[in-house]
Amino acid sequence: MKVENLLLEIDALLKTCGEEKLAEVFHSLYQRYQTDKDETRSQIFRLYGGMGSFNDFTLHDTDGSPLIKENEELNRLRSELYKACQRDS
């Protein structure tokens, strides 16, 4: 799958789960990717590093319980995005 599509899918999933601020980050990355792929790929790779990074992020219900199905989808998309960025470089 293309980087652009994955960014939009992650954006939509995050919005569906009430994570508007993080969704905005991915929408912004989608927009920037249209004009500067190399720099945007670098920004995406930086999201994956260190404690508290996008790799560690999990989706939760309003009562604090993890959203199992949505987190499985997020993990799949997160992995595909990283691989797509590697292929695109």
Model confidence over 16-34: pLDDT tens digits?
999 999 999 999 999 999 9
Give me the helix-helix angle, 37-47 and 3-16, nearest 10°: 50
Distances (CA, A) of 58 to 36, 49, 53: 29, 15, 10
Which of 74, 83, 88, 87 has the alpha carbon at shortest distance from 17? 74
Does the global pTM surpass 0.85?
yes
What is the tens place of the pLDDT at every residue in 62-81?
A: 999 999 999 999 999 999 99
Q: Which residues contact 48 (CB under 8 A, 6 or more apart)?
A: 54, 55, 82
Domain ranges of the chain: 3-88
